[in-house]
Structure 1
């Protein structure tokens, strides 16, 4: 009975630790989807996952000990005590399952944080590409007309300069409208 009491005490003391880790995991998980998490929170995700692995490693041998006390015919264990050891074995397996599920949630939260970061980087890249495309049009036209060729048809026109500015504005406006419509700007 003393062995049962010690094992039960050990297993029961894992529950408060797991509850505190679970609460912290839930708060981080909520932050992952609602806003960009900080580097400190990502490090905390990693540390929690490592701590859960340590707990899993520490509780692993208890399963085998409880299983042997429950099923093997040991002279020091009475038949009436086997259901108690079965109860402890069930608690240990339950704790193992909780640890495994929390590790999976942490892995998913970490992956989600990476995906959110990549999505934000993609959005920034799209905006930069859009603005560069808009700026490229007037730069190219100004570069062509800045070469000072002798025979350019628009140079002889009275409104050639204003037409070139109009083409630039129309092209830039068209690109701006298309990028805005596509959701890049």
Structure 2
């Protein structure tokens, strides 16, 4: 009753390598739910915006939560930048997917898109990978996506603040070099 130390919110978990949490953010809602193995589609319903965050286990808990909250607070701008960054790779990979389709309807798997926002129905966030801020205080993180156009490797976008600095396969989201 007299303990005034509240547990950290949201709940944090650790494993041998990483620190984890999940945060619900309206800015990330409406994508696919990609909680299946290797970012596979796990629900036909649009996501409610709950996203899993991970960071190196040696990152301080306060830093991890602060950075995760910053990303969550800027989810709308971040998602817009990520979807815009992935348009070119979508068109490049779409041709390969079309060649491999047998019984699937191309308009459902890899439809023609007219705007980056059209990708929302074709991908979902597997995880947001948090890195520590750089010496200038810039936020560094990456978003790993499961997606229709690259189901083996997924897609990834790495950020510095609100700027997408690299995109490609999922590994771009967590390869902070």
TM-score if structure 2 supplies the norm length?
Answer: 0.21
Higher helix share: 1
TM-score if structure 1 supplies the norm length?
Answer: 0.21
Q: Higher RCO, 1 or 2 (CA under 8 Å, sep at least 6)?
A: 1
The structure having more radius of gyration, on CA atoms, is 1
Higher strand share: 2
